[in-house]
């Protein structure tokens, strides 16, 4: 068996510090192969961002993690911090949601893009040359001049391209994208996504794409994981997820999304999304689920495979959402 | 006497040398729903802010229920009367509610400002308004931090409805909400419009959403109306290249972001070569027909 680029198995994370102590992830398992784009979709509090950050060892302070998390066969959770830093510089990169909040406003763009390279010991001149090429590849005009400019001189869309350039500097094999276009306009979103998908394909990188937007995930991902209340409730190849969602939450999300090509108005899911800490025993979605039975509130649904889909729903076999 | 809840004619606003809104005209029927769409910098939020009086237009007329509000309000009574007619729900319910004011006090404040009511009457009306948006006495006593995003937006809607406005402006009012909650709020808004006859003016960049909430659509690009008409017709048959670009930008299966990026660049290049004629103060009415129920496109 070949080693997977990213493999998370049964990851549990809980915040341990004082009053805030609570579980945030429960039994999360997922994987990303070399060259594969994988979506991680969920609403607020579902744990999708925590899962994504855990891959870089970026857990909230005082958090305890159990389970395993391998990048290319190396365990992140037990890795010494020097190796972890090296991994962040070279192998795994992250693109954050808000470029304005993630790029130091007091440093020049050139400093931001070359930071990882310089830390790896690349000479300044070579690093700047590399940065110039990277800025050009993400469509920044006059990349050489851009190196000397400051973040406030760029629009949000342009700054997000700078962030992508910075993320690619170390030549990573795995890209983590945490809602990279949520802060952007629809037309800018399309541009940033086209750059991201092109560079990902050119460099054969694996990507974990975190978003709340099922349609966006469907447009760019091969497979999609759906999270709810700190657990993965369904995983399927994109096509199957849209044509045959197996979990009532997935079909609820699909029905709630307004669509351009359909006359069917969006239907809300009653109640509100809960976090793992708030969720009662049994299935966390039971209280909002139209198909819930008394057993749903007692038994934890076990994830199992049905027709190529991973589903965690007690009634998955009976319910076919076509 | 006019049949429109809201009429806007030749609205214009510049900040320094930058023209943010240029000759924008449209009208909204009582109980109608109109959506202003465009990307950031298109002038849609500036337009909304002028309508509620947060910005003063450089030129143009705004009439609500036939009453002109283009001139500066003189005196408290005029200001209050104008505020009553248009209310606004903002994008981020985490910023638009005062964290130290309870839900009850928040909804009662406009009642106190606009109506002579006894405390008992006010409480009764507040309970009625909160019930209207699906909140009960338990939420009334709470501070905003105890509420979820969806509940907060319900409070913001109740507060806006308190003055019984003719027009409610919803500036990306569901954009910050989870998708399962967004649909709930849209249902609620549709129900309120049916029951009260209030008109909606949505400001958004989400065309998939517009299709389901607005009868009439106005597309803004660089401060100008480039296309307007009944939502169905415009979305099924977009004529202006910018409208087409916006439509293609909505993610969906089979989506081609590279093509959209190319289209966007060529559109920007075309519009640089043949810029729109600058609107002059002498001819503020060369924009599209202010009746948006007819199709109109600026080529």
Q: Which tokens is B287 given? A: 């924009």
**Which among B247, B251, B268 is the top mutation candidate for probing chain A, defined by the most A β-carbons within 10 Å of its own β-carbon?**
B251
The angle at the Cα of A306, spanning A302 to A311, to the nearest 5 degrees, equals: 40
Res B252: pLDDT: 81
Mean pLDDT of B212-221: 95
Residue A188 has pLDDT above 70, yes or no: yes
Residues of A in contact with B185 (CB under 8 A): 268
Higher pLDDT, A42 or B273: A42
Res A2: pLDDT: 66
- Residue B240 C-alpha, separation from nearest chain A C-alpha, in angstroms: 15
Helices A109-119 and A124-137 meet at what angle, rounded to 10? 120
What's chain A's average pLDDT?
91
Res A320: pLDDT: 62
Mean pLDDT of A256-277: 89
Of B209, B248, B251, the CB nearest to A258: B209
Residue A322 has pLDDT above 70, yes or no: no
What's chain B's average pLDDT?
88
Mean pLDDT of A123-146: 94
Residue B70 near chain A (CB below 8 Å): no
Of A185, A219, A257, the CB nearest to B179: A257
pLDDT digits (tens, 9 = 90+) for A291-306: 999 999 999 999 999 9
Residue A15 has pLDDT above 90, yes or no: no
Q: Is A268 in Cβ contact with B178 (below 8 Å)?
A: no
Residues of B in contact with A194 (CB under 8 A): 257-258, 260-261
Question: What's the rounded Cα separation, in Å, for the pair A73 and B68?
Answer: 71
A129-133, A176-180, B258-262: range with lowest mean pLDDT: B258-262
Mean pLDDT of A119-148: 93
Q: Which residues of A touch B (CB under 8 A)?
A: 43-44, 156, 185-191, 193-195, 197-198, 212-216, 218-220, 238-239, 242, 252-253, 255-261, 265-270, 272-273, 288
- pLDDT over 70 for what percent of chain B? 92
Q: Which tokens is A72 given? A: 């290319």
Residue A1 has pLDDT above 60, yes or no: no
Res B254: pLDDT: 77
Res A60: pLDDT: 84
Question: What's the rounded Cα separation, in Å, for the pair B84 and B243?
Answer: 34
Residue B169, helix vs strand vs coil:
strand
- ipTM at complex level: 0.83
A189-200 exposure pattern, b = at least 16 Cβ within 10 A, e = fewer: bbbbbbbbbebb
Handedness of CA A278, A284, A288, A292 (dihedral sign): negative
- Residue B54 C-alpha, separation from nearest chain A C-alpha, in angstroms: 24
Res B291: pLDDT: 59
Using an 8 Å Cβ cutoff, are B47 and B21 in contact? yes
Res A317: pLDDT: 86
Confidence of residue B41 (pLDDT cuts 50, 70, 90): confident
Helix and strand totals (H; E) in chain B: 11, 11
In sequence order, which ranges of chain B are alpha helices (DSSP H)? Answer: 44-52, 75-85, 103-114, 119-132, 137-140, 149-161, 179-196, 207-213, 231-236, 241-248, 257-273
Using an 8 Å Cβ cutoff, are A230 and A25 in contact? yes
H or E segment to which residue A54 belongs? helix A48-54
Res B259: pLDDT: 87
Using an 8 Å Cβ cutoff, are A160 and A192 in contact? yes
Residue B187 near chain A (CB below 8 Å): yes
Question: What's the rounded Cα separation, in Å, for the pair B239 and B234?
Answer: 8
Q: CA A152 from chain center: how many Å?
A: 27
Res B140: pLDDT: 94
A27-31, A276-280, B202-206: range with lowest mean pLDDT: A276-280
Residue B33 near chain A (CB below 8 Å): no
Res B31: pLDDT: 94
Residue B277 has pLDDT above 50, yes or no: no
The DSSP 8-state label assigned to residue A4 in this structure reads: P
Question: What's the rounded Cα separation, in Å, for the pair A192 and A138?
Answer: 8
Res B105: pLDDT: 96
| Residues ≥6 apart with Cβ < 8 Å to B176 | B91, B92, B93, B94, B149, B153
| Residues ≥6 apart with Cβ < 8 Å to A178 | A49, A52, A53, A94, A95, A96, A97, A210
Count other C-beta atoms under 10 Å from residue A62's C-beta. Answer: 12
Q: Is B178 in Cβ contact with A44 (below 8 Å)?
A: yes
Q: Is A215 in Cβ contact with B180 (below 8 Å)?
A: no
- The interface residues of chain B toward chain A in range 142-161, judged by CB-CB distance below 8 A, are 148-151
Of B151, B181, B250, the CB nearest to A186: B250
Residues of B in contact with A260 (CB under 8 A): 207-208, 211, 235, 247, 250, 252
Mean pLDDT of A5-30: 89
Residue B271 near chain A (CB below 8 Å): no
Res A263: pLDDT: 86
Residues of B in contact with A138 (CB under 8 A): none
pLDDT digits (tens, 9 = 90+) for B84-102: 999 999 988 989 999 999 9
Question: What's the rounded Cα separation, in Å, for the pair A225 and B138?
Answer: 36
pLDDT digits (tens, 9 = 90+) for A46-64: 999 999 999 999 988 888 9
Residue B274 near chain A (CB below 8 Å): no
Q: Find the distance separating the first CA and the last CA of chain B, reported in whole Å.
A: 33
Confidence of residue B285 (pLDDT cuts 50, 70, 90): very low
Q: Is B257 in Cβ contact with A186 (below 8 Å)?
A: no
| Residues ≥6 apart with Cβ < 8 Å to B113 | B80
Question: What's the rounded Cα separation, in Å, for the pair B235 and B213?
Answer: 13
- pLDDT over 70 for what percent of chain A? 98
Q: B207 to chain A: nearest residue by CA?
A: A260
């Amino acid at each position: 068996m070949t080693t997977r680029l990213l493999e998370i198995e049964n990851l549990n994370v809980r915040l341990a510090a004082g009053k805030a102590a609570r579980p945030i992830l429960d039994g999360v398992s997922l994987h990303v192969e070399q060259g594969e784009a994988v979506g991680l979709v969920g609403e607020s509090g579902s744990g999708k961002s925590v899962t994504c950050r855990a891959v870089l060892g970026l857990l909230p302070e005082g958090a305890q993690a159990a389970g395993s998390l391998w990048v290319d066969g190396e365990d992140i959770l037990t890795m010494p911090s020097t190796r972890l830093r090296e991994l962040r510089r070279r192998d795994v990169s992250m693109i954050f949601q808000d470029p304005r909040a993630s790029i130091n406003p007091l440093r020049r763009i050139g400093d931001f893009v070359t930071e990882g390279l310089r830390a790896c010991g690349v000479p300044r001149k070579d690093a700047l040359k590399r940065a110039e090429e990277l800025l050009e590849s993400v469509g920044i005009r006059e990349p050489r001049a851009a190196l000397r400019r400051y973040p406030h001189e760029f629009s949000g869309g342009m700054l997000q391209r700078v962030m992508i350039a910075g993320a690619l500097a170390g030549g990573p094999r795995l890209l983590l994208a945490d809602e990279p276009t949520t802060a952007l306009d629809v037309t800018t979103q399309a541009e940033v996504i086209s750059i991201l998908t092109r560079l990902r394909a050119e460099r054969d990188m694996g990507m974990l794409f975190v978003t709340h937007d099922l349609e966006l995930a469907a447009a760019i991902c091969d497979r999609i994981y759906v999270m709810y209340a700190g657990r993965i409730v369904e995983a399927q190849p994109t096509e199957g997820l849209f044509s045959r969602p197996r979990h009532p939450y997935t079909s609820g999300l699909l029905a709630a999304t307004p669509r351009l090509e359909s006359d069917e108005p969006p239907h809300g899911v009653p109640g509100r999304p809960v976090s793992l800490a708030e969720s009662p025993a049994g299935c966390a979605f039971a209280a909002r689920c139209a198909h819930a039975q008394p057993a749903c509130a007692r038994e934890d649904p076990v994830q199992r495979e049905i027709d190529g889909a991973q589903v965690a729903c007690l009634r998955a076999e009976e319910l076919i959402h076509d | 006497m006019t049949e429109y809840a809201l009429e806007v004619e030749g609205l214009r606003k510049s900040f320094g040398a930058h023209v943010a809104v240029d000759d924008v005209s449209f009208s909204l029927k009582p109980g109608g729903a109109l959506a202003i769409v465009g990307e950031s910098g298109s002038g849609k939020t500036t337009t909304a802010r002028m309508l509620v009086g947060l910005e003063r237009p450089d030129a143009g007329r705004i009439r609500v229920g036939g009453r002109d509000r283009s001139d500066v309000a003189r005196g408290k009574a005029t200001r209050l009367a104008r505020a009553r007619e248009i209310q606004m729900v903002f994008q981020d319910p985490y910023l638009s509610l005062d964290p130290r004011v309870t839900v009850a006090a928040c909804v009662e404040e406009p009642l106190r400002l606009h109506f002579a009511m006894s405390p008992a009457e006010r409480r009764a009306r507040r309970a009625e308004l909160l019930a209207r948006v699906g909140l009960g006495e338990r939420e009334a006593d709470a501070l905003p931090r105890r509420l979820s995003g969806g509940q907060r937006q319900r409070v913001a809607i109740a507060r806006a409805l308190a003055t019984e406005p003719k027009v409610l402006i919803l500036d990306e009012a569901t954009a910050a909400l989870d998708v399962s909650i967004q649909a709930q709020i849209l249902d609620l808004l549709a129900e309120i419009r049916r029951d009260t006859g209030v008109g909606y003016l949505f400001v958004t960049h989400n065309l998939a959403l517009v299709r389901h909430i607005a009868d009439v659509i106005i597309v803004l690009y660089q401060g100008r109306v480039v296309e307007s008409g009944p939502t169905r017709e415009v979305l099924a048959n977009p004529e202006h290249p910018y409208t087409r670009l916006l439509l293609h930008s909505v993610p969906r299966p089979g989506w081609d972001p590279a093509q959209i990026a190319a289209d966007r660049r060529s559109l920007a290049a075309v519009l640089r070569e043949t810029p729109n004629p600058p609107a002059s103060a002498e001819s503020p009415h060369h924009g599209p027909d202010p009746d948006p129920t007819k199709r109109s496109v600026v080529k």
